Amino acid sequence: IDCYAVLGHPIHHSLSPQIHAAFATQTGEVLRYSALDVAPAELAATLARLPADGFRGVNITVPHKESAWAYVAQQGTLTERAAMAGAVNTLAWKTTGLLGDNTDGQGLLNDLQQRHALSLRGKRVLLLGAGGATRGVVLPLLAAAPAALVIANRTAARATELADLFAHKAVAAGTLLHGCGLAALPQVVNTTGTFDMVINATSASLGGEAIALPPGTITTDGFAYDMMYGKTPTPFLIAQQQAGVTRLADGLGMLVEQAAVAFTLWRGVVPATQPVYNALREQLA
Ligand code: ATR
C-alpha cells in the first residue's frame, strides 16, 4: 500500500490525516496517510529512510518547511514556486526522483477564486507579514495578475527584501509590487489608493493580537482574509469587521485546498474539496 504522511513537530493537532483520508475515500484511491512527529535533528535521516519504507510522498509542516527545502535542493528537484518560496510543504518520491513543491500559494488562490468567487486580476492587494507564510504565496498571487501587491510588515526591511526577491516576476505579471513597513501604510494609501483585498500572513493572530490598519485601508466592499483559522473569528478578522469590512474569510479553505493540490500531485486525481471543508467547519464549531 502506498504510504503518505505529514511531518511536523509537534504534529498531534494536524488535520492533514483527516483531510487526506477523506480525499482517498472519496476518490477510491488506496493509500495510508499518517502523522509523524519528527524532531528537527531527525528530519534529514527520516526523509532519507521513508521511500524504502513504502512512502510515496509527505507533507511538511512547522517547523520543517525550510529545512526540507534545503534537503530537496541537495537531493532532488524543486518546482519554481517552491524554489522561490524558500520552503516546501509537499514532497513526492517519483520514478524520476525526489520532487519538492509548495502548494500553499495555489491553495490560497483556489480558496479565493473558487470558494469565495474572487478574482485578483486588476485588483489592489495588501499582503501583511514578510515571514515564511508570506514568501510561500507571493509567486502564485502574482500569477493571478493583481494591479498592485503591497507587502507590509512590522519590520519594514523584511518586506522590502521580499519585494526585491520577486521584482522580476512582478514585472512579468504586470503587477506593481512594493514592500513597506506597517507604519508606512497611511502614506501608501494616500498616494496610491485604498485596497480591494487584505490578506493576513502574519502570525499575530496566534498570539491573540490583531494588526491595526489605518482607517480606510480597505474599501468598504473589500475583502479581508486571514490565513489563520479557528473555532471563533481570528482577532484580525474581528478588527476588520469592526473597521466596516463585511466580506471576511479565515484560512480553513486554504488548508483544504493546499492539501488537494498535494493529493493531485501524488495521485493524479482531483478531489472535491467542498465536502471536506464543510465537515471540518462543522467539526471546528
Ligand atoms: P511564518 O513562517 O508564519 O510567516 P515568521 O517567519 O516567524 O513565521 O513570520 C512571522 C510574521 O508575522 C512576520 O512578518 C512578523 O513580523 P516581523 O517580521 O516584524 O517579526 C509578523 N508578526 C508576528 N507577530 C506580529 C504582531 N504582533 N504584529 C505584527 N506583525 C507580527
Please spell the DSSP secondary structure of 155-197, one letter per residue: SHHHHHHHHHHTHHHHHHHT-EEEEEEGGGHHHHHHHH--EEE
Residue 11: predicted pLDDT: 96
Rounded Cα–Cα distance for residues 251 and 237 (Å): 11
Q: Which one of 69, 102, 198, 203 would you pick to mutate in the ligand 1 pocket, going by the greatest count of ligand atoms within 8 A of its CB?
A: 203
Q: Which of 258, 276, 273 is nearest to 6 (CA)?
A: 258
Residue 263: predicted pLDDT: 98
Q: What is the mean pLDDT of residues 220-233?
A: 94
Least confident of 86-95, 132-141, 203-212: 203-212
Cα torsion 45, 46, 47, 53 to 10°: value is: 120
Class of domain 2-102+255-284: alpha beta
Residue 271: predicted pLDDT: 98
Cβ 255 under 6 angstroms from ligand 1:
no
Cell numbers 486554504 correspond to what residue? 254
Ligand 1 centre and the CA of 202: distance in Å? Answer: 5
Q: What is the mean pLDDT of residues 105-115?
A: 98
Q: Which residues are part of the catalytic machinery? A: 65
Local confidence band at 206 (pLDDT 50, 70, 90 cut-offs)? confident
Question: Per residue in 31-90, pLDDT tens?
Answer: 999 999 999 999 999 999 999 999 999 999 999 999 999 999 999 999 999 999 999 999
Q: Is the model's pLDDT at 29 over the cut of 90?
A: yes
Residue 122: predicted pLDDT: 97
Residue 220: predicted pLDDT: 85
Q: What is the mean pLDDT of residues 113-117?
A: 97
- Tell me whether the CATH fold assigned to 2-102+255-284 matches the one assigned to 105-250: yes
Cβ 202 under 6 angstroms from ligand 1:
yes
Local confidence band at 2 (pLDDT 50, 70, 90 cut-offs)? very high
Of ligand 1's listed atoms, the one at least distance from the Cα of 132 is 2
pTM of the complete model beyond 0.95: yes
Taking the domains of the chain in order of start, what are their residue ranges? Answer: 2-102+255-284, 105-250
Give 105-250's CATH code, choosing from 3.40.50.720, 3.40.50.2300, 3.90.1300.10, 3.50.50.60: 3.40.50.720
First to last CA, the chain: 34
258 is in an annotated binding site: yes
212 is in an annotated binding site: no
Q: Is the model's pLDDT at 212 over the cut of 90?
A: no
- Distance from CA of residue 216 to its chain's centroid? 26
Nearest CA to ligand 1 atom 28: 204
Q: What is the mean pLDDT of residues 152-170?
A: 98
Count CB-CB contacts under 10 A for residue 258.
27
Residue 205: predicted pLDDT: 82
Cell numbers at 133, concatenated: 507564510
Ligand 1 centre and the CA of 134: distance in Å? Answer: 9
Determine the 3-state secondary structure of 127 from DSSP.
strand
Nearest CA to ligand 1 atom 18: 155
Of ligand 1's listed atoms, the one at least distance from the Cα of 129 is 14
Local confidence band at 231 (pLDDT 50, 70, 90 cut-offs)? very high
Determine the 3-state secondary structure of 118 from DSSP.
coil
Cβ 211 under 6 angstroms from ligand 1:
yes
